[in-house]
């Protein structure tokens, strides 16, 4: 309970010290691994994605979590404009698609990138930076999920991680501008079947 109270106090302090964020509401906080009967971070992220109606923008360092991918695909099927920029570590290097039967590619997110791309979701790969280390989801231009958790099973179930959901157009706009900058220098992802 102390850790939860300290996290809320830290977020409130951050919000009060940052003018652009001061009007935001903390709509959710979670920690991984799940404990104390509180909602786990994967469930929080999936619930938020499932509530999106118009647009989802996502930045992902590591993305291998099927339930989060499933939620993005459901959003796309509902008609939401879903777009993703991933770190290059998520995809296989040219010419390495078939090494070890594709297992390394699956571990590093290429399987998720393929699924999302085939579902009609724009997937782009950021190769400009040594690492795109962001973990951000912007929902309907007014809600932002961010924190330390990678979009992976380990991030959701094993690692010590956190996420915070912020409700506020100014914060969402700031994160969306950063997302657009990453998108502008990223390359479109080509599913494995198109690279052969």
Active site residues: 133, 135, 140
Closest CA to 92 of 80, 112, 109: 109
> Would residue 79 be called left, alpha or beta, if left means φ above 0 and alpha means ψ between -120 and 50 degrees?
left
CA distance 36 to 40: 10
HSE-up of residue 61 (Cα within 13 Å, Cβ side)? 14
Q: How many CA atoms lie within 13 A of 171 on its CB side?
A: 25
13 burial via Cβ count (<10 Å: 0-12, 13-18, 19+): exposed
């Amino acid at each position: 309970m102390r850790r939860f109270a300290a996290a809320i106090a830290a977020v409130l302090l951050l919000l009060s010290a940052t003018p652009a964020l001061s009007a935001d509401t903390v709509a959710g906080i979670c920690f991984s691994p799940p404990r104390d009967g509180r909602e786990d971070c994967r469930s929080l992220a999936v619930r938020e994605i499932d509530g999106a109606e118009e647009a989802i923008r996502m930045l992902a360092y590591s993305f291998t979590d099927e339930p989060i991918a499933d939620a993005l695909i459901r959003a796309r099927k509902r008609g939401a404009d879903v777009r993703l920029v991933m770190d290059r570590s998520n995809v296989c290097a040219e010419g390495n698609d078939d090494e070890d039967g594709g297992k390394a590619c699956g571990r590093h997110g290429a399987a998720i990138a393929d699924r999302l791309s085939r579902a009609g979701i724009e997937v782009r790969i950021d190769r400009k930076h040594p690492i795109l280390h962001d973990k951000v989801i912007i929902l309907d231009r007014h809600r932002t999920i961010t924190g330390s958790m990678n979009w992976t099973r380990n991030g959701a179930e094993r690692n010590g991680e956190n996420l915070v959901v912020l409700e506020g157009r100014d914060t969402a706009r700031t994160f969306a501008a950063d997302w657009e900058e990453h998108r502008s220098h990223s390359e479109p992802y080509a599913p494995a079947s198109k690279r052969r």
